[in-house]
Every structure is written in C-alpha cells, then in structure tokens.
Structure 1
Amino acid sequence: MKLFKRILILFIIIIGTIVYLNYPKLNIISGYAAKSMASSIFVAQRSATSVTQQDNNVPLIKLATTEIDEKTESATASVYGLMKRKAIYRDGLGTVLINDDYNENDFTLKPNRIFSSDTIPYPYGQASPKDTVFPEINEEQLSKSIATAFSNPEIQKTRTVLILYKGHLIAEKYAEGFTKDTPVLGWSMTKSLLATCYGVLEHQGKLEMSWPAPITAWKHDERKDITLNHLLRMQSGLAWEEDYTKISDVTKMLFLDSDMTQAQKDKKSIAIPTEIWNYSSGTSNLLSGILRQQFRSHQAYLDFPYIALIDKIGMNSMVLEADIAGNYVGSSYSWASTRDWARFGQLYLERGNWNGEQIFSPSWVDYVTEPTLHSDGTYGAHFWLNANGKYPDVPRDLFSCNGYQGQYVFVIPSKSLVVVRTGLAENPVFDVNAFLSEVVKIVP
C-alpha cells in the first residue's frame, strides 16, 4: 500500500511538473488557433472546416478547439478548456487577438481605400489578362513546371502557383478551395511590403536609409548608432530570439503583445551594428512603429501603404492587419490573392515603375538586393537573395519575398519572370530549387 501511495505521489508530481512547464504555452497555442481561424474566415472567406483540417492541423495547434461567432465576427480557442483566447475582426484592419484590457472604443480608425476598376488587362489593371502567345515559351516545359509544384500534395501542400512572363500571365493553378480571388496570408512576405513603404518615402525625399533610428530611448547608449539601413538589413546588433517552437521573443510578440512595435525597441545591444546578422520579426515591427512617426496623425499612417503603394498598383484584395494599438504588424500579417502578390513582384521586376508612374526609385531595387554582411548572400534589405547560389539551378539574380510555411514571390530579372507559390510547406520539404529550376527552363 505504501508503495502504491509513493507511485501515485510521484505520478502526480510528474503530471504537475508537465502542466506547470507547458501551461504558458497554451496561451500561444490558443492564440495562434484563434487568430488563424478568425482571419481565414473573416478576411479570406474560407470555411472553418478547411482551416481546422489544414491550417490548424499541425503539432500543438491541433490540440486547440475553436468556436466561431459569426454575429460578433470572432473566434475563440482553448486547449481542453484552458487558456481561452479570442480574436475579433475589425473592418479594414483584419483580425486581432484581444486581451482582458481590450476596449473596442479605444481604437476606431481604419484605412481609407481607393479600389481601382479600370479596363487595363491584368497584371497592370483590373481587366482580364491578355491571351498572349510567346513563341519562345516552351509550353510543355511550362506545364511540367506547374506539375512539379503539385506533384505530391500531401507532402508539398502547394495551394497556388502563378507565373508572369514579361508582364503577362502565362500560367496559374489553384488547389481545391482556392481561386484567383482567395486572399492568402503572406506571413513574412509582409516584411518586404513594409520595406517598400520606406522605398516610397525615400523616393519622395522624406527620409534616407542612413538616418539614425528615431528612438529616444537609444540616444544615450550604444544603440544610438543604429540606422534605418541596419534595421532593414537585420544587422542592428540588438538581441532577439526568432524561434516559433517555444515561448520566445517572436511568439510572445505575435500572440501576447498589444503594441508589437515595442518588443525589439526594448532589447539591449549584443553587438555593434553590422557585426552580426540576426533575422528578427521584432525589427520589422519596430520599423512599422518608426513608419508611424513619419506622419502627423495615425490616420495618415494607416492610409499611407494603401494610397502610396497597395491601391496604386491595384492590389484590391490586400489587407494589412494591425495590433490592438493600431500598428501594422509589418513582420507577419498581410493577406492578398495570388494574383495581387504577383502584382507586387511585377512592380519590382519593373524597378518601381507602374503604368508609367515611378512608385519608388529604380535604385531601390539595387539597394534591397545588395547582399547584407554575414547573411551568406541570402539576405538584402527585407528581401531574400540567391546571390551565393542557395538555389544552385536558378539564376543568381533571383530575389524574393519569403513567408512562413512556404509563401513566396520570386522575381527573376534575367528571365523576365515573376513566380508566386503559396502553401503549407516550405523549403526543403517543398523543394524550391527543384521547382524553380523547372520554371526557368520555359524561357530560352
């Protein structure tokens, strides 16, 4: 009997320790599940069943149970009834995880949009794409390249693929449940969009990348030497842990913080600028906060990305999501259809020129594609690069917007190609080199 009691006590201690160590993680798990469900339903107009079976059917997240309230446009998730988290939809701002202090009347602004409805063929306008035949395109190879992306759906989990050549749509394919109009979460592709806002402001003569970051708290310590360029290149030397497998700087920021622009701002310096390269979503959200400082009002900040960039090139489906405080989550949360993501890539292929209007300087493309020190040629300024041949069978001039779970906008200037691929598996599970090596073969 004594032995049984000892075993029981030991068992209780073990279970208690497991619960104690993992209980805080439930907050992140519930938060992820609620946010994913709410955005997928109220932004992307998808079904709860598809989100449960696909997006949220991943380790740990699938432990959460999520309930939808169509009336309040919200989703609530918990893990076995514990750590309930709620995400609500806000018109124009997407969905946001709320906390106990949330008051819907604290922030009521939303961006003003100008949705274009011209008769210019896609991708430069809203009309249907031209049915153009390029004699140099190898049609058999084109079909093969698309098939490569969808050849093993259970493993590759590709959702959409689209290819533009010389500004013309030459191929697109969508998995079941997705169409040309379905908004897709870009995750960290949002970083490239945020950086482009800086390129627009630079082109307008309103700031320079060499300027010190305008952070008052940094003016009297070693962080005073950090510039906008250092932040855009992820070489500020600030501490940051980008680990999505545990409670880390990035998961706390995305799923717990009301104001996501603060997390990186409060970090100490661990190296002088340019001494190390450290990928940080906190840095991108800090840049979103610095972007806010460039405008006299919060409304002007909310309007700027749309007026100066997104709506200007006809990305009508795009939604930038904001945190509770109304700051764009420039690290992670933007939604757009595959066709609209391709417009963004085409803007870069055209070196900032859109239907004759220069959105940002052509030199901006050279800037964002210049390899950053210590990144092994894989990173520029909030864009990913192939400068050192990470993808060995693809031209070295390729640069891209990359997002979690394999969201990609690839720009290949030497081939006049823009390639978009979205899904739920990233490199190497989805073999980017194998896919793109087939794509580039379509052009002599």
Structure 2
Amino acid sequence: MFKKSLLALAVASTLFSCQQQGQQRTANVLKAAAKEYYPGEDDDWLTKKPEQVGMDAAKLQEAVEWAKTQETTQMPADFSTQEVIFGKLLGSMPTDRASTNGLILKNGFIVAEWGDTQRADPTYSVAKSYLSTLLGIAIDKGLVKAITDPVANYVQDGGYDSKQNRNVTWEHHARQTSEWEGALWGKKHDFVGKEEYGRGERKPRTLQAPGAFYEYNDVRINRLALSLLRVWQKPLPDLLKEEVMLPIGASDTWRYVPYHNSYAEVNGKRMASVSGGTRWGGGLWISARDEARFGYLFLRKGKWHNKQIISEEWVKEATSVRGPVGPDYGYLWWLNTEGKAWPDAPTTSYAALGAGQNTIWVDPEHDIVIVWRWHDGNPNELIKRVLAAVKA
C-alpha cells in the first residue's frame, strides 16, 4: 500500500510538472506575441522616437534628409514620358503624382516619414508581389493544389493549349520563366516595336522550354493575372481587398485599375482582369502607408494580430531562391541571397520593386520595413544609412 501511494504521488508530481511546463510555454508564446505591435486601421499607427526602438536619431535623420534629395528623373510628375518609355497605353494614367516620399518601420512602429505618404499613386511592378500573394492564398485554400502543377490543369480558355504553353506551371509564371507564347490585351509576348513597347522593345529570339529561361515580361505576368481570375472566379481587386487589405487595416484610397480592354467572361459574367504593373497604364494605385502595411505583413510571416492572413510557408517560399534560372528572385519578389542587390543589407532581406524606383524593402534580421517611392537613389545607399542608425 505504501509503495502504491508513493507511485501515485510520483505520477501526480510528474503530471503537475508537465502541466506547469505547458502553462509556462503558453505564457512565453503569449508574451512573445504581446511584444509584436500591429497598427490599427488606416491612420491609427503609432510613431516612436528612434531611441525608443534602439536607433540613433541623428543618423536616421541623416538617412531621411539624403532620401529627400533623390527625386526621380525617370518620369516627370505628369507622366508625359510614359509612352516613350513603355509604349502605347492600354489603360488610364493619373495626371500627376506625389514627390519622393517614404517611411521607415522599426518593430512595426513608424520611426521616420517624409513626403506625402498618403497619396495613392501607381506603384508599377510592385503589383507583381501582390499577384504573387493572391497565388499563395489560392494554394493555401486548395484552389491550386501545387505550384508545380501546369496551369492548363486549371484554366481551359485556349491560352495553354499550344505545345509551347501546355507545360507552363504556376511556378514558371511566378518566377518569370514561363516562356508563355501569345498575345493578350493587344500586346505580344515578344515585345517587338517601339510604338507598342517604347524603350522596352526586344528583338525576336528562339523560345526556350518553360522553366529554362528567365525574362522579365509583363505580357506573361498579365497572363498569370488572367489565370488567377479564372481560378478564383472573382475580380482580383475584390479578393485583394477581402483577403489582405481589409484584414491589415489598409485605407480605402487604393485602387487596382484594369486596362480599358482587359475584360474576360467568367461564369457568364464580365470581369476585369488586372495587370502586373503600370507599364501600359492602369495597375495598382496605392499609398506608401498602405504599402508599408503589406511589407509589415510579410515581415510578420503572414500574420496580423492573431490571424494568419497568408501561410508562413508561402511567405518563406515566395521570398526564397527557387532555382538556378534567372536572377536572385523568388516568387515575384526580389532577393538579396547573394548580397548583390543591396551589398550592405542582410542576405535575408527582400523587396517588391517597380519603375520610378517604387520600393518596399523588408529586413527580418533588423525588424525593419522601408517604403521609398519616386526616387533615383540606389536603394542600398538608403538601406546602408538606415542600418547605420541601428544600435548594436
């Protein structure tokens, strides 16, 4: 009887100890989560002094003052060189834009801000990283079973019937290695002719097998957008709003503008298909503040407060090297794995980039997001200055 009592006591003690350990682990997780700050909706975003988050105020201000001097010369404020640079427009353009502007987040708090960061302007190819995110959510939800699946398994609109196109996978599109052949919305994949493609014209070349050749190509990304529309069976701007922008508290000023002719019939309904940029007009028009929210969502591995908006797995895959073909590139995100893009930045950092030097740069190592728009400066020069302000 005495031995049985001792055994019962030992078992009870062990169970109590395990329970305590479990409670402690839970408490640690909750404590860690409590340290993560998330802004409220729209303008409800806390600003902290640099020294409150371990940064040198003087050095950070020096970085900001330098950034202010780097106004873009690529395109004037009235976008009058748009067709010279990119070719014949298919969609609308605004009549003006903000001057160079941006903001810096540290631990989620705004520690620096300059210019008109609330102006919703075209962000050009930064939109590609948003399209990538909608692909990721489609995979998260099982609408696309695997990124390595041929798109033809899901989309039967004639765009993937040819011998060249039938083996194009979602991954090929997301890595810009699809070699998709064809025309869409009046533009051909091979970018021939100054009238249609401006300075972006390219000479004809022999097509490679899908996955074998990298080419930054907006026609093919627009084909990805149309394919996503057909899979979701709902306009992508509506999806972006419901799945991402509303959950992260974005403003209501952003717009995803289609071309005048980019409409398709889906389930008997006429729906607009959006583009992967503003090369030919339209595209994602959004403020620097809303872009900072998007960058911060990725910094937090797809989580916002206690909700997983995008799976952590997708965030990791989208921002990792996916193969030997092409530059340091993930799934429509630019990477720094080899340290060539931004030599003074961590190799774990990554960015969404667009013409006019529209930039969302994410640095998990230092818990920093930088949004910098309408500038001619080398992003590395700003990154270098900002990181110099981070105290060891």
TM-score normalised by structure 2 residue count = 0.70
Runs of at least 5 residues in structure 2 that lack an aligned partner in the other structure: 1-36, 77-98, 182-188, 264-271
Which has the higher mean CA deviation after the structures are superposed, 394-403 or 204-213? 204-213
Contact 1:319–1:335 (CA<8 Å) still a contact in 2?
A: yes
Equivalent residue for 1:183? 120
By relative contact order (CA 8 Å, sep 6+), the higher-ranking structure is 2
Equivalent in 202, 208, 211 of residue 271 of structure 1: 208
AA partner of residue 331 (structure 1): G
- Judged with a 3 Å threshold, the aligned counterparts in structure 2 of structure 1 residues 185 and 301 are, in CA distance, closer, same or farther, namely closer
Equivalent in 40, 61, 66 of residue 143 of structure 1: 61
- Judged with a 3 Å threshold, the aligned counterparts in structure 2 of structure 1 residues 375 and 403 are, in CA distance, closer, same or farther, namely farther
AA partner of residue 247 (structure 1): E
User: Does structure 1 residue 132 correspond to structure 2 residue 60?
Assistant: no
* Equivalent residue runs for 1:206-355 within 5 Å: 206-207=143-144, 208-214=146-152, 215-216=155-156, 217=158, 218-219=160-161, 221-238=163-180, 240-241=189-190, 246-248=194-196, 270-296=207-233, 298=234, 301-316=236-251, 317-324=253-260, 325=263, 326-332=272-278, 333-355=283-305
Between the aligned partners of 1:184 and 1:357, the Cα distance in structure 2 is: 29
Between the aligned partners of 2:326 and 2:205, the Cα distance in structure 1 is: 25
Contact 2:121–2:287 (CA<8 Å) still a contact in 1?
A: yes
AA partner of residue 167 (structure 1): G
Contact 1:164–1:171 (CA<8 Å) still a contact in 2?
A: yes
- Judged with a 3 Å threshold, the aligned counterparts in structure 2 of structure 1 residues 131 and 392 are, in CA distance, closer, same or farther, namely closer
User: Does structure 1 residue 404 correspond to structure 2 residue 355?
Assistant: yes
Runs of at least 5 residues in structure 1 that lack an aligned partner in the other structure: 1-120, 254-266
Instruction: Give the CA deviation at 1:388.
Output: 1.6
Q: Deviations over 1:208-257 (max 9, x none)?
A: 312211354334513221100011100112354468x933558999xxxx
Root-mean-square deviation (Å): 2.8
What's the secondary structure of 1:195's corresponding residue? helix
What's the secondary structure of 2:46's corresponding residue? coil
AA partner of residue 139 (structure 1): A
What's the secondary structure of 2:133's corresponding residue? helix
| Structure ID, larger Rg | 2
Equivalent in 13, 31, 39 of residue 123 of structure 1: 39
Which has the higher mean CA deviation after the structures are superposed, 370-379 or 221-230? 370-379
Which has the higher mean CA deviation after the structures are superposed, 217-226 or 134-143? 217-226
Between the aligned partners of 2:349 and 2:69, the Cα distance in structure 1 is: 24
AA partner of residue 321 (structure 1): V
What's the secondary structure of 1:414's corresponding residue? coil
Which has the higher mean CA deviation after the structures are superposed, 321-330 or 161-170? 321-330
Contact 2:70–2:100 (CA<8 Å) still a contact in 1?
A: no
Between the aligned partners of 1:340 and 1:213, the Cα distance in structure 2 is: 31
Contact 1:276–1:374 (CA<8 Å) still a contact in 2?
A: no
Instruction: Give the CA deviation at 1:184.
Output: 2.1
TM-score normalised by structure 1 residue count = 0.62
Equivalent in 79, 84, 103 of residue 162 of structure 1: 103
AA partner of residue 173 (structure 1): W
Between the aligned partners of 2:257 and 2:199, the Cα distance in structure 1 is: 17
Instruction: Give the CA deviation at 1:129.
Output: 2.5
Between the aligned partners of 2:67 and 2:347, the Cα distance in structure 1 is: 21
AA partner of residue 226 (structure 1): V
- Judged with a 3 Å threshold, the aligned counterparts in structure 2 of structure 1 residues 269 and 209 are, in CA distance, closer, same or farther, namely farther
What's the secondary structure of 1:162's corresponding residue? strand
Instruction: Give the CA deviation at 1:187.
Output: 0.5
Equivalent residue for 1:362? 312
Contact 2:102–2:117 (CA<8 Å) still a contact in 1?
A: no
